[in-house]
């Protein structure tokens, strides 16, 4: 912490300078002065945090210096010195504000000086923290569009601006349209590291930062040197450095999306929406992205999802002909259409839904359970488009292999499985299913043993637990609700069955997935 000493007696200055080992105690004596006028100039140039000042000095005394610094809002705390126990002067000085303590010169020793310095330091840091929090709140309101004009209390709010969004990379899942990966507790630590890392950059000043509804951090910068032509490359270098710093501190990868060059504060909400939208498209750019959103091929949603129609004719034909090469080409063409000329996120999810149906439709015919191809407990996590394409191709290859190796189930068994899939959330029994498809319970029991190599109850249980795993991964539902939604009246019974099938309690399964 930077300290300046002001006294018209050089002997007093030397005495106080020698009382404590300044650097060892966490302080830096940056300057001394013998009058208030020269001290004011130094305060403006070097910005000390604490000034130890004598009251009675020539040219400009201590009271005048404190008043001038207060008017200029330099954010300095004063420790006032006096040779006399003049309490009327003490009251006058303290009433000015910005004064931490009033000391009598002949009473000062090393212990007293260090005590008052630490007291001033704690007060200064608390005030700065409170000011930073207030500024961050004002910046959040401005950037998100709650306030349309910047407050005059936002320090350094001068264009041009840079706006960045940083988020932890998370595996792709089909619920990303509505569910943002959240880690609010961790995000507070990430913010602390980012602000420390960006504070001393010579080109861009970090005006403030805030956390969004998830593990996303938004940073607002202003260009420091208005005379220099600082291009976006300096901002990119700073953000890349922060990205690497976060990885080094937390051993996790982060992606960064930013804009730069804005001159109108009222345009910040539009820039904010740009970086938020870009962050939703991470599957198109992969992990550890560092991208300026101004040039990204983001699409504007104009067609309602219900009006979209994606054709899978070539894929169906390849499966009918059992042609692997033709199937791979069809899948790649489907994804190519949603990457160019624009990134089509809605089209991506529609394509994924259609491909998933193609994969799952024949599952019942071969006695296979539906699986979530993005289940990180079963498969490697997917972070980018090429990995996503390969995941679908892999599962379609497996379906072709299954079609060749295993004969389809009988029509009766297919109808039984279809009924289970439609009514698993109800209290169904083998009697209910056999009645629905028109055969006896004993015959259906034999069909399960013969064609499925498992009992009716085993199959229903497996299907219910599969659905429970999907809910636990994608939603923050209570265990009681999960149990009810998959057909268990008793949450305790559901918990016991889940543990028997998976080896984990439901909350352990959810926590294990959230750490991936």
CATH number assigned to the domain comprising residue 260: 3.30.70.1230
Buried b (16+ CB within 10 A) or exposed e, 24-46: eeebebebbbbbbebbbebbeee
Phi first, then psi: what are they for 382, rounded to 5°?
Answer: -105, 130
77, β-bridge pairs: 50
Domain end residue (candidates: 263, 295, 327)? 295
- Residue 198 in any domain: the answer is yes
Name the domain count of the chain. 3
Q: What is the pLDDT of residue 301?
A: 55
- Are residues 364 and 265 both part of a single domain? no
Neighbours of 271 (CB within 10 A): 23
217, β-bridge pairs: 166, 211
Which domain, by its residues, includes 38?
2-127
- Are residues 48 and 123 both part of a single domain? yes
Q: What is the pLDDT of residue 192?
A: 86
Q: Which residues of the chain have pLDDT under 70?
A: 85-91, 175-185, 214, 226-230, 300-309, 361-371, 402-408, 513-516
- Residue 138 in any domain: the answer is no
- Residue 498 in any domain: the answer is no
- Residue 379 in any domain: the answer is yes
Pairing mode of beta strands 2-6, 50-54: parallel
Query: Residue written as tokens 């000015």?
Result: 96
- Are residues 283 and 175 both part of a single domain? yes
Q: How would you class 362 by CB atoms within 10 Å of its CB: exposed for 0-12, middle for 13-18, buried for 19 or more?
A: middle
- Are residues 20 and 112 both part of a single domain? yes
- Are residues 202 and 303 both part of a single domain? no
- Are residues 173 and 277 both part of a single domain? yes
- Are residues 229 and 315 both part of a single domain? no
How far apart, in whole angstroms, are the C-alpha atoms of residue 282 and residue 278?
A: 7
- Are residues 291 and 259 both part of a single domain? yes
- Residue 229 in any domain: the answer is yes
Q: What is the pLDDT of residue 307?
A: 42
- Are residues 318 and 256 both part of a single domain? no
Q: What is the pLDDT of residue 142?
A: 92
- Are residues 13 and 122 both part of a single domain? yes
Helix, strand or coil for residue 164? strand
- Residue 180 in any domain: the answer is yes
DSSP state of 373: T
- Are residues 325 and 255 both part of a single domain? no
Tokens representing 414 are: 């297919």
CB-based contact 389:335 (threshold 8 Å):
yes
Domain end residue (candidates: 408, 427, 448)? 408
Side-chain-side CA neighbours of 493 within 13 Å: the count stands at 9
Task: State the alpha helices, DSSP H only, in 339-405.
Answer: 345-360, 385-405
- Residue 505 in any domain: the answer is no
CB-based contact 205:221 (threshold 8 Å):
yes
Q: What is the CATH number of the domain that holds 79?
A: 3.40.50.2300
- Are residues 13 and 104 both part of a single domain? yes
CB-based contact 474:468 (threshold 8 Å):
no
Tokens representing 197 are: 């890392």
- Residue 494 in any domain: the answer is no
How far apart, in whole angstroms, are the C-alpha atoms of residue 508 and residue 473?
A: 11
Q: What is the pLDDT of residue 417?
A: 86
Domain end residue (candidates: 381, 408, 435)? 408
């Amino acid at each position: 912490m930077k300290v300046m000493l002001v006294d018209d007696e050089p002997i007093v200055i030397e005495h106080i300078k020698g009382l404590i080992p300044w650097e060892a105690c966490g302080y830096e004596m940056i300057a001394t002065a013998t009058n208030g006028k020269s001290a004011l100039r130094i305060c403006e140039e070097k910005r000390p945090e604490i000034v130890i000042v004598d009251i009675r000095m020539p040219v400009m005394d201590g009271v005048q210096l404190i008043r001038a610094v207060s008017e200029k809002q330099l954010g300095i705390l004063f420790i006032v010195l006096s040779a006399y126990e003049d309490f009327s002067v003490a009251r006058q000085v303290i009433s000015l504000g910005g004064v931490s303590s009033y000391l009598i010169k002949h009473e000062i020793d090393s212990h007293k000086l260090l005590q008052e310095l630490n007291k001033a330091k704690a007060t200064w840091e608390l005030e700065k923290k409170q000011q930073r929090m207030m500024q961050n709140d004002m910046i959040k309101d401005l950037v998100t569009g709650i306030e349309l004009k910047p407050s005059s209390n936002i320090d350094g709010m001068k264009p041009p601006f840079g706006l960045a969004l940083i988020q932890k990379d998370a595996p792709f899942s089909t619920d990303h349209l509505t569910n943002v990966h959240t880690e609010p507790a961790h995000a507070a630590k990430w913010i602390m590291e980012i602000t420390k890392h960006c504070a001393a950059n010579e080109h861009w000043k970090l005006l403030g930062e805030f956390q969004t509804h998830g593990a996303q951090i938004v940073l607002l910068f202003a260009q420091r040197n208005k005379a220099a032509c600082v291009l976006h490359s300096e901002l990119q270098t700073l953000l890349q450095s922060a990205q690497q710093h976060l990885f080094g501190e937390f051993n996790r990868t982060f992606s960064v999306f930013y804009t730069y060059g804005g001159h109108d504060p009222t345009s910040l909400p539009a820039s904010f929406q740009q970086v938020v939208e870009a962050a939703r498209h991470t599957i198109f750019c992969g992990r550890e992205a560092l991208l300026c959103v101004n040039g990204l091929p983001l699409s504007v949603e104009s067609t309602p999802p219900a009006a979209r129609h994606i054709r899978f004719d070539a894929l169906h034909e390849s499966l009918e002909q059992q042609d692997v090469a033709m199937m791979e080409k069809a899948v790649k063409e489907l994804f190519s259409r949603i990457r160019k000329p624009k990134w089509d996120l809605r089209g991506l999810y529609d394509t994924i839904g259609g491909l998933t149906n193609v994969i799952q439709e024949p599952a019942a015919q071969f006695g296979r359970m539906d699986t979530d191809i993005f289940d990180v407990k079963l498969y490697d996590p997917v972070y980018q488009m090429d990995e996503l394409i390969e995941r679908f191709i892999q599962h379609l290859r497996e379906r072709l292999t299954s079609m060749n190796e295993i004969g389809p189930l009988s029509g009766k068994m297919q109808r039984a499985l279809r009924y289970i899939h439609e009514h698993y959330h109800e209290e169904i029994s083998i009697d209910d299913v056999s009645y629905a498809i028109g055969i006896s319970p004993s015959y259906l029991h034999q069909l399960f043993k013969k064609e499925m190599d498992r009992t009716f109850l085993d199959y229903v249980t497996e299907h219910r637990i599969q659905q429970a795993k999907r809910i636990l991964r994608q939603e923050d539902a209570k265990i009681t609700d999960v149990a009810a939604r998959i057909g268990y009246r008793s949450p305790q019974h559901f918990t016991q069955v889940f543990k028997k099938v998976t080896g984990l309690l439901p909350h352990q399964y959810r926590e294990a997935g959230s750490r991936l």
